[in-house]
Structure 1
Amino acid sequence: MASAVPKDDAALAALTGLDPAVIAVARVVLNRLCTSPMVEDHRLALLLAVTEGEGSDLGETLGRAVLRAGPVNQLTDLLAVRGIGPKRLALLAHRLGAVDTATFRLGTEEPEEALALARAQLAAADAEIALLNDEIARLRGGQGVAAASADAERMTLRDLASSAGSQVRAADDTLREGRAAVRLGAVTVALKGVVAAEGEQLALRMPREDDGVTPVSEVVLRYQLAETAVTDAAAGDVPDLVGYTEVLARRKAEAAGFSVDVAWEHAAPVRGQPSPTGRVLRQSPAAGTTAAGRRIRVFVGR
């Protein structure tokens, strides 16, 4: 008689559509990668190489389950992955570009929109993963781990900011084209590496073993997407939605002939004032203006 499928494997199988047996093998490989005695940068390069497994069952499993199905530092809660401590997972999440865990808490009520937002956040975080592309290419070319770390890829900070910004805009375009009920607002990408002068510019690269005491810096890139309205319908006066809950804001906008896009924004509570959580903090276009488009973007506190 076949043994019962573990609960966590069954949950992941339902989520990804993959064979539970393949998932079990993938977990063992992932555990070994994360717990094997090797230099952390080499471990991360190998992990990325495996997750980009060119269509193999193992690559598909790790790619979906570890880097796509949820934030890495929450897998112990979501899927009860065995053998990997939360501190190690948190490190991997930071280094690989973690999806905002608040997105998945939101996902209990609006799973499709939350998943779309998570994918967009992951696309923005891919700028950090791009810093390991050179090592991955060398590993695939059979040059070994030592050669992979001998000449890490450099990117000027200007090019890095431009590249990450393009990914953020592309992620928001994907949400818009997919008619998701959320949009990206402010996006922050934090990268760690060695900052060095390259002519008249600064460049960022991954640290190497032979760097010794070379300081590692954190570079934070912040993006605020342009708040523009779609202009494909007759002009109309924009209603004031600030302070309303998302549900009431939608009703008021629809009554005035507008549709609503929702973006989520962190809002700190202020003593003596109502909680901003779940309420519209600001909107674009502004209330009282005449908009050619029939769509309003609202920023809801969380």
Structure 2
Amino acid sequence: MSGALHIGDDNQWVTLGSAPRLGFGTQGFTIEMWVRLDELKSNSIHLLGSTNFTYPDSFNLLIGSDGKPWVGHESNYLNARKPVTAGHWFHLAYRYDGSGDGPNGGQLLINGVIDVSSNFEMKGQVKADLFLGPGPLALGSVSGGFDITELRFWPGPRSDGKIREQMFSRWDSRDRGIAAYWPLDSENRFESPMQSGVVVPSTEFGFIEDDSVPVDLDRDAVTQGLLKGESSVTLDENRDLIGLDIFTAEVWVFGDQKPDELYNSPVLSQHGAPTGWELRAAAGMAEFLITINGEHLTVGWSADPTPGWFHVAGVYDKSQIRLVINGIVVSRLSVTGELAHYERPVTVGRNRNWPARAFQGALAEARIWKTARTDAQIWSQLFTRAGGNEPGLVAVLPLDDWPTGSVRDLVSETSHPVDNPLASVRRAPPLEAIADADPETNEPTETEQLENLRTERIELLRRVERAEILLGEMDELEELAEKGRQAQSEVQELRTQVAELQNAQPDEITSPDRELEPGETTLQSLINQTRAQIEAARVAVNQGGGVYRLRDVTMDLRVIPAAGGETVIIPDRKELVDLSGGELSHLRLDFSSTDIGQAEPVLVKVPDVSGYTQVLARRKLSEVGLLTEVMLEALSEDRKSQARRVVDQLPQAGTDVSPQSTVTIFVGRLATSST
């Protein structure tokens, strides 16, 4: 049974001792603690400090009314960017490197992730007595109301890798160099083993027993996990994972090494070339990749590569991708366009398309949602195992099935075979076991029901949009087929004209010296007749309205020279069979477009693509030999039905332009704001 100390009102505090005895020195210091707020209040909640805010040697660590931690350090102030969530455990650390140089003079870390840095310099050394809780000098300006456990003071700045490595375990003597430590998990562990006798409670305190405290009492406990390089699993039976338009993928990771490239370390993968998405992680680093319009887009995080457990989540909501580490957003990117789906099952611990890319380490509690989870939602279930019946959850793998040869999916209630046996690992992930499902308590709240209805509505609208696009593509394919049939008819007509030209006999053959033989013609007559036939064919092609044009023409003929060289005899097919090669001469006639007399330039009418999607508009313009340039036009809320559709074009529909001209289309996009 784990526990914590509860400080419930403004009149409760603990005297910890003077700052120098707690490790505050000229070489810097680090403070760590696990905290859970009862609720946010109109004034700040004072966690720890000297409670005076004016003296030069003051130090105070608080939670503001907006939920954001902040530090007052010798009249310098450092405000966190990320608010914490009341009712849920979070790890808070402040470190100061003693120099004030660069961006790392003072840093606040939430759940082991750097949230904000400052380069302020400590002018002296904090020497005041420090209190846990509001303190005797609060005078109503600050409040209590929080649970706290595992309070540590270190002389000197701790690396973020060391903080993450040890934040989920109780301190023991192997963690050398600590200045003061209070487990605060039960009454008999109230005093600091490093600073005995300095704790003077002002009144009775309440210790609570709580298994949800995310600190493992025994860091050497053997647990089971999915060890990569040896095993992976493919979720073949869960078809709900294929084709998700918005989703959240999350998993607990114990990375024990740093790969040469992070793409060689996939933890959850539905990614091929160039399609799909992938969540990657290793010691002290993570990356989330999605594919939009054939382009790979990524958000990443990199820190001290010390091995240890951390939680990683990738979120995609069609407008933004986010990478969340231990409940803290570390990177985000605004995106536009459709996700290119990889129509194969999700694989855990390996890339299915490139099997050599395999994660090395241990994994626990892998979850995939068909919703874009908010930061608060991810945080609320960070340290709790899922039961499989949570709204929006489409897959959850506890990955605690060792030593069996399969992995359970609690949502689809199926077991997936593992390609190699699972192996045990030390140091359990900081997850609280979920209790047996209670039908009454697992009913979704009204807010969750509304969120589910909103998600289902969005999914239905997307399906309708897909169906409309498919119908539009079918109509265009039918138009293309009809044009293909017309083109085939034109080609056949041209072939007939060519055949007639090859077998043509002059209507009137005369020679100044003699009467011409059957099949005999003068060279000039042959040239004139051929030129006339080609010009007629060119006019017919132009009038057809297609993209094809008849340009230069070359004819190779086999003829029999007549006496005098002024005439030739064109043999028919039957005569060609009976004649030998030596009796035939090769005659080549070249007709350029200028020889025949090119008419005025051919122009193309710009088709109307208003209301088309970007893909269909490109295809429509390409059919008539035109190029496409895409521009985005911001839409107001009352025009949201035109989003992702062509709202304007230049030149306008019906304009005559030269082939290969560029048409600019303006595609609507809803105006959004992002941070």
TM bin, normalised by shorter chain, reads 0.3 to 0.5
Task: Look at both structures and tell me which one has the larger radius of gyration over its CA atoms.
Answer: 2
What's the TM-score once normalised by structure 1's chain length? 0.33
The structure carrying a bigger helix percent of its residues is 1
What's the TM-score once normalised by structure 2's chain length? 0.16
The structure carrying a bigger strand percent of its residues is 2
